Structure 1
Amino acid sequence: MKPILAILCAAALLGGCTAAPKNIAPVNPDASPEARQLLEFLYSVRGRYTLAGQHNFISEPPRYDSVVHAMTGKHPVVWGSDFSFNALGDNIRDFHHCGPMNLTSPWGECRTTGRTTGELRQSLVDEIKRRHAEGRIITLMWHCCFPTECNDCNGNSIWTWAEKLPPQYVWDELTTDGTQLNKLWKKQMDTVIPYLRQLQEARIPVLWRPYHEMNGVWFWWCNKPGEEGFAKLWRMTYDYFTRVHKLDNLLWVWNTNAPRDIPGDEAGPYADYFPGLEYVDVLAADVYKRDYRQSHHDELKALAGGKLIALGEVGQLPDPEAYRNQPDWSWFMVWGYFINSQQSGDLDSATAVRRIYDDPRTLTLDKIDFSGGTYKLKK
């Protein structure tokens, strides 16, 4: 029995440990030792600690991690980034918020980088190797164009909004193996798979969260509830990466948006988009505008069936009361430049960030022992 399983079983006392091995095991039965150890570590701190995280953009990967350190004197544990896309057209500034790879980091002068897709993604891999060596936990996502456009598109190809979502017959072609659209989807996926394979060869596990916020109404992959909707795309993606390409360093993070009822900007119930526990290692939610309703935490925890839950992206950090009342978030990750917009009441942004970073429940890099290439708490 692995040490963490023994700890959990002992804590459960009589007959209480039957579900623990099922939950701790990655959904990929061939998951790498490094992925397994990372998942075990996350379970070992669940309910006691939340890991601090920060998103960084592919065109300037150290930038916002440095901002956090300047504010707090500490580094986040979870280090996030995006495989991204190249924004085309005369409206590129409209999509600057997500960090297209051909543009400088958001809210600067919005210049083009002059670097190729391959150069940028390789530099991201090289940065990840450096961060992992420090003891960081890596999470990656992908703002991807519609498959017919691969990596280069007008941002409207990604942010379609409800009135321009793919009709069901297009969705059916996309998710049916062997169709022309399905082949283009595979070709698109093949543009990031080599970089994930490099990380696997370097023995770096990745919290992989593709197609985030699928229960919203803004991305082309959004607003497709039910078995023939998003769940089918997720399972297809899992199969292609895991069973076809044998990427065994990935832990699969199914990342929703916190449900909301804003006309034209809705996010539906978690369960309507869920592909099943056998395809998901971690269930996450994105929270913006400090919308830390207790139901966002509790309903996701109920759906998780004992698996981990996390805050995949946040705009503003929670206030101390919400932080205390929602103890099962395994990590939070502030979205890039939002780290500079954390004002709360009478607190300026830096003070509000320190309030959470200094909370005894928050794990920062200085509290992690990564000696021997395994994650554990410092004694």
Structure 2
Amino acid sequence: MAGIAAILAVPGTAAVAGNASAGETVSPRGARKKAAGPVAPGANQQAVNLLAFVTAQYRKKIISGQQESTWIDGPDYEMNYIHEHTGKYPAIRGLDICDAPGGATERAIAWWQAGGIPMFGYHMGAPTYSDDYDGSKQTVSIDKVLTAGTAENKSFVERLDNAAAQMNKLREAGAAAIWRPFHEAGGTWFWWSKEGGDQYQRLWEYAFDRFTEKKVTNAIWLMGFNGEPAASASFYPGKEYVDIAGADTYAGDQNYDPQKAMYDATTGVVGDAIPVALHENGPIPDPDELVSTGAGWVLFNTWNVEHLTQSNTVDHLVKVYGHDHVVTRDEVPDLN
């Protein structure tokens, strides 16, 4: 893998290599947008380098990723399983901010220091409900969530501030991360997506502004649709607020389809301006079919436990992690 200096020479990234504020413009909605580089105002060098690396892989290679679990055999269960069977580690370690009290932030820092890329999702509980997966499926008025002075708003702000604090711990340790909030947009199972696209966009922009206020300069913002991105186009906040877009699917066990139709549907919504990720998956798409069909996913993020061990055979994992089209942790350049 080329060094980071070569990666930053990719057209559209070099302009920000020495100055993270270069090319800054103002969008019609008033949010600051850089001509090149991360959408976060004042993005630091690690974030600039991370996005440059991801962008350089788009439609050329796919970056491997794996979501951790914390309840099977320690939080390294999936990483150890992959390494035991393939001799490789995934480039991306998927984590959840909900697990911060259990050391997720420290694991993210350690992953970066070992040469990998952390990616934080957040199953944020509906404000005033429990801040966990069960809470994320509750129903709450988004108007109340976004109205200052309500219990829902106070809860929402507290949770955003906690997430920002975790990201800033990474920043202070010299690490950047992909930040993947409010995922599976367009679905009706998580509170943030139950009131339609306009309300979802309001939430996204509020969270973006709060992170900006809290000086989170090391986040690469990934906005993930569900498995029907074309039907969920109204949820897209626009490239002023999104560095990477994505979609997800949990195809049947050992169905290694490249998901070309879903890839095309996602690019049909967001265009060619930003990379497109398979931000959650069960079976990992066959790398040969990714190449032959032109399904240009920039990364995959296999879900944990049985989605890794049952949806993918060991032989398939060996093929994936040994394939020239797949980027593993040892192939990530120094992003510092």
- Aligned with 2:175 (options 196, 200, 204): 204
Which one of 208, 216, 235 corresponds to residue 247 of structure 1?
216
Equivalent residue in structure 1 for 2:303, among 324, 328, 335: 335
Aligned partner letter, 2:208: Y
Q: 2:126–2:137: 8 Å Cα contact kept in structure 1?
A: no
CA displacement at 1:61 relative to structure 2: 2.2
Where has structure 1 moved over 6 Å in runs of 4 or more? Answer: none
SS of structure 1 residue aligned to 2:248? strand
RMSD: 2.6
Identify unmatched segments of 5+ residues in structure 2: 13-22, 24-32
- Aligned counterparts of 2:323 and 2:7: Cα–Cα separation in 1: 25
Could you tell me which of 127, 131, 136 is aligned with 2:116?
Answer: 136
Q: 1:234 aligns with which of 204, 216, 235?
A: 204
Distance 1:269 1:223, change over 3 A: farther
Tell me, yes or no, if the aligned pair for 2:197 and 2:234 is still in contact at 8 Å: yes
Query: Counterparts in 2 of 1:122-161, with a 5 A limit?
Result: 123-151=103-131, 156-160=134-138
Instruction: State whether structure 2 residue 43 is matched by structure 1 residue 74.
Output: no
**How much identity, in percent, do the aligned residues show?**
28
Q: Between Structure 1 and Structure 2, how many residues are aligned? A: 305
The more displaced of 201-210 and 300-309 is 300-309
Distance 2:146 2:258 in 1: 34
Unaligned runs of 5+ in 1: 10-17, 85-100, 102-116, 260-266, 344-348, 375-379
2:43 is aligned to 31
Alignment of 1:268-347 (within 5 A): 269-289=231-251, 290=255, 292-305=258-271, 306-320=273-287, 322-324=289-291, 325-337=293-305, 338-343=307-312
Q: Which amino acid aligns with 2:131?
A: N
Normalised to the residue count of structure 2, the TM-score between the two structures is 0.83
Verify the 8 A CA contact 2:161 2:214 in the aligned structure 1: no
Q: Matches of 2:158 and 2:226 in 1, distance apart?
A: 28
Cα distance 1:280–1:318, how it changes in 2: closer, same or farther (>3 A)? same
Inter-partner Cα distance in structure 1 for 2:10 and 2:192 = 40
Query: 1:5 and 1:80, CA in 2 relative to 1: closer, same or farther beyond 3 A?
Result: closer
Match among 172, 180, 186 for residue 157 of structure 2: 186
Is 1:24–1:307's contact at 8 Å kept on the other side of the alignment? no
How far is the alpha carbon of 1:193 from its aligned partner?
2.7
Counterpart amino acid of residue 234 in structure 2: D
Mapped partners of 1:3, 1:73: distance in 2: 27
CA distance in 1, matches of 2:332, 2:157: 38
Instruction: Measure the CA separation in 2 of the matches of 1:279 and 1:304.
Output: 12
Taking a change above 3 Å as real, the CA distance of residues 295 and 177 of structure 1, as seen in their structure-2 partners, is farther
1:50 to 62, 73, 81: 62
Per the alignment, do residues 188 and 314 of structure 1 end up closer, same or farther by CA in structure 2, a change over 3 Å counting?
same
AA aligned to 1:8 is P
Give the 3-state SS of the residue equivalent to 1:192 in structure 2.
Answer: helix
Deviation at 1:5, TM superposition (A): 6.2
